[in-house]
Structure 1
Amino acid sequence: MTHPTPLALIGAALLAAGRPVTVAELAQLLALSPESAVQAMKTYTQALADADAGFTVESVAGGYRFVVLPALAAHLAPILSPPPLPALSAAALEVLAIIAYRQPVTRAEIEAMRGASAGTVVTLQERELVKVLGRSDAVGGPLLYGTTDKFLLEFGLSSVKDLPALEGTGFSHLLRG
């Protein structure tokens, strides 16, 4: 068997991994420098576009993964399973935004910012969008919450540094009332 091309290895790695593949992993797989591995990924992504493949490569959660072209997603709905989870409530989105921008953050801090209960933290944990990062040094050692890699995947972010900048002086434009 002949040695596979770098582009064939990239495609096989992205398909087989089932998770985002990091630049370091690609560089090791291809025996290239990280910079050359990034360039090879760009070449591969362009080859997919040129071939009208119906999918592309997305940089997310510190690595690369295959994604369906957004223009085709609606056409695939009949064959996709399981059905998507119901949309997050406004309250859950508020809590998620606070956690994303302020992590690590305690439930009491979230409730103080919202002026309301942060009970939706449980829902966000069940959906694996937030996780417990540890305990605060404050009295009672309250839990500290932060976002997960699944959060990054769901929102198409490479890292929390890719969150949009907050306008103004804080979170007030994100919160109700």
Structure 2
Amino acid sequence: MQHVSDAAQLSTDAEPPLSASIEAILLVVDEPIDEVTLAQVLETPRDQIAATLRGLAQDYDDAGRGFELRSVAGGWRLYTRPECAAVVERFVLDGQQAKLTQAALETLAVVAYRQPVSRARVSAVRGVNCDGVMRTLTTRGLVEEAGVDTESGATLYRTSSYFLERLGMKSLADLPPLAQYLPELDEMDSESMTPSSGLQTPAETSGLSAGEDGHEQNG
């Protein structure tokens, strides 16, 4: 009996496989976790961590699992597969509206393509005051402050790492080539400029669909 007890204790104390340890961490993180952090926590060389992550991603793809492992925003995180989006949306939303409005999508697109940019510049592009929408995007963590314009003293804004995470992109270089639809910065001075067409596209393709609160308002 003593031998059985000792064996059970050894089994409990044994370190789990590296892949299992990484999976366990991935299941509890609320943002992409980088390879350096994983290497430090698991006391394992970064190269080995990277190889294991790539192996796990390939295993999930080969098995056709309902989730996938992506490298986004400088780290790794588990995501549900795009083909399962409709099912997940029904489960999460349960009929409730939790999406961005058309105004919020257009404003977010302007910030994404012209960052760092001030609220006044964004309003000039869209032809309407965007202060309220900018506050909504900032509150939701999609947009963040990026310093102050040295000439005007206006606060500048940029998209956040959470924005990249939501779109499943590694960097802004992955944005669709839609910059030609936006006026140049030196053309943004007029407060009466009309909104550019198609500005909502990059956000829509990411799942940030129209319908969420982000009501356009002054001030």
TM (normalized to structure 2)? Answer: 0.67
State the partner residue of 1:21.
33
Structure 2 Cα separation of the partners of residues 77 and 94 of structure 1: 22
Give unpaired runs (5+ residues) of structure 2: 1-12, 184-194, 199-219
Letter in 2 for 1:48: Y
Aligned counterpart for 1:69 among listed residues 74, 81, 85? 81
Q: Distance in 2 between matches of 1:10 and 1:20?
A: 12
Q: Which of 142, 151, 160 is the equivalent residue of 1:148?
A: 160
138, 145, 154: which one aligns with 1:125 = 138
SS state at 1:56 partner: strand
Is residue 187 of structure 2 the alignment partner of residue 175 of structure 1? no
4+ residue runs of structure 1 moved beyond 6 angstroms? Answer: none
Alignment check: 8 A CA contact 2:107 2:122 kept = yes
Counterparts of 1:49-64 in structure 2, within 5 Å, are 49-64=61-76
Partner residue of 2:113 out of 101, 108, 122: 101
Q: What are the Cα deviations for residues 105-135 of structure 1, in whole angstroms up to 9, with x where unaligned?
A: 1112222333332232122123221122222
SS of corresponding position for 1:134: strand
Give the RMSD, CA atoms, in angstroms: 2.6
| Structure of larger gyration radius | 2
> 1:8 — aligned with what?
20
1:74-93 correspondence runs (5 A): 74-80=86-92, 83=96, 85-89=98-102, 91-93=103-105
What secondary structure sits across from 1:80 in the alignment?
helix
CA pair 115-81 structure 1, distance change in 2 beyond 3 A: closer
Q: TM-score, normalised by structure 1?
A: 0.81
Change over 3 Å in CA distance of 1:100–1:9 after alignment to 2: same
Question: Highest relative contact order (Cα 8 Å, sep 6+), 1 or 2?
Answer: 2
Q: Unaligned stretches of 5+ in structure 1? A: none
